[in-house]
Amino acid sequence: MTAENYIDTSVPYVTPDYTCSRVLSLMDTFKMSHLPVVENDIYLGMVSEDELYDKNLFEEKLSEFGVMKTPYVQSTQHILDVLAVATHFSVPIVPVINADRKYLGSVTSQNLLVAVAKITNVQSKGAVLVLEMGVHDYSMSEIARIVESENAKLISSYVTEYEDSTRIDVTLVVNMAEISPVVKSLERYGYKVNTFFSGSNKIDDFYRERYELLMNYMKI
């Protein structure tokens, strides 16, 4: 469930050559409060309706707008990372780029709702673990090997990064309800298990928290 799977290519984008009045007209046509700014296929940032009105910019070009917010996700990031970015920047769409910063499209709040609904409908027969580590210590192939050595299967995973920090959290969804052997095995290999959830009630709570985060975001 990566960002590239939920891109809405119908979301328009603008270029620095657009006048602010033209941008506002486009926002009104598509009923959108934010639009990505792209030049030569490269993502530059995002402009909002409120900012244009606050700065009283109309006939000026976007190139004169100044510094813009630059929320985005890489195409390979998990959909919950998209939700985290959307919530942090309080934006209704999240631009998606590739490794060369080429703009691929945007994930809308509607698509986020669909994605999280799929996650919350997953059968809660397994467990969720959250590992803490340095970004340079991350190796999904090794983690998967350790999990599978305990006769468990890794259903899904995603990485949460922290601004101005080399720390990351790695969330694992495993198909084994009795998760203690996996936890002990990971710890034996030096991994720090911050927390884990097993049993249907605890798994439901885990997904419920993320669903509530989405609902707060949808109020933006």
Say if residue 104 is in the same domain as residue 87.
yes
Say if residue 42 is in the same domain as residue 111.
yes
The predicted model scores a pTM of: 0.60
Say if residue 102 is in the same domain as residue 42.
yes
Residue 130 lies in a domain: yes
Q: What pLDDT is recorded for position 213?
A: 59
Say if residue 136 is in the same domain as residue 92.
no
Residue 92 lies in a domain: yes
Residue 218 lies in a domain: no
Interval 97-114 mean pLDDT:
91
Residue 205 lies in a domain: no
CB 180 within 8 A of CB 130: no
Say if residue 156 is in the same domain as residue 77.
no
DSSP-derived letter for residue 181 is H
Interval 20-25 mean pLDDT:
94
Amino acid making up residue 113: L
CB 2 within 8 A of CB 78: yes
C-alpha closest to that of 23 among 15, 91, 220: 15
Residue 208 lies in a domain: no
Q: What is the residue-averaged pLDDT of the chain?
A: 85
Bigger pLDDT: 203 vs 198: 198
Gap between the Cα atoms of 64 and 192, Å rounded: 48
Say if residue 67 is in the same domain as residue 159.
no
Provide the CATH number for the domain around residue 167: 3.30.70.260
Confidence of residue 160 (pLDDT cuts 50, 70, 90): confident
Say if residue 97 is in the same domain as residue 141.
no
The region of weakest confidence among 24-28, 63-67, 80-84 is 63-67
Say if residue 107 is in the same domain as residue 48.
yes
Buried b / exposed e over 195-216, threshold 16 CB at 10 Å, is: ebbbeeeebeebbeeebebbee
> Does 108 score more than 60 pLDDT?
yes
Interval 64-87 mean pLDDT:
86
Q: Which two tokens stand for residue 111?
A: 């698509």
Say if residue 176 is in the same domain as residue 87.
no
Find residue 127's DSSP bridge partners: 174, 198
Confidence of residue 120 (pLDDT cuts 50, 70, 90): low
Q: Which two tokens stand for residue 122?
A: 């997953």
Q: Which two tokens stand for residue 164?
A: 């101005």
Provide the CATH number for the domain around residue 71: 3.10.580.10
Q: Give percent of the chain with pLDDT exceeding 70.
A: 85
Interval 138-167 mean pLDDT:
88
Say if residue 7 is in the same domain as residue 70.
yes
C-alpha 138 chain-centroid distance: 19
Q: What pLDDT is recorded for position 187?
A: 95
The number of folded domains in the chain is 2
Name the burial class of residue 163, with classes exposed (0-12), middle (13-18) and buried (19+) by CB atoms within 10 angstroms of its CB: exposed
Confidence of residue 121 (pLDDT cuts 50, 70, 90): very low
C-alpha closest to that of 99 among 163, 204, 3, 203: 3
Q: What pLDDT is recorded for position 123?
A: 46
**Torsion angle of alpha carbons 191, 194, 199, 204, nearest 10°?**
-130
Domain with 13, as residue range(s), is: 3-116
Bigger pLDDT: 117 vs 150: 150
Say if residue 112 is in the same domain as residue 131.
no
Name the burial class of residue 15, with classes exposed (0-12), middle (13-18) and buried (19+) by CB atoms within 10 angstroms of its CB: middle
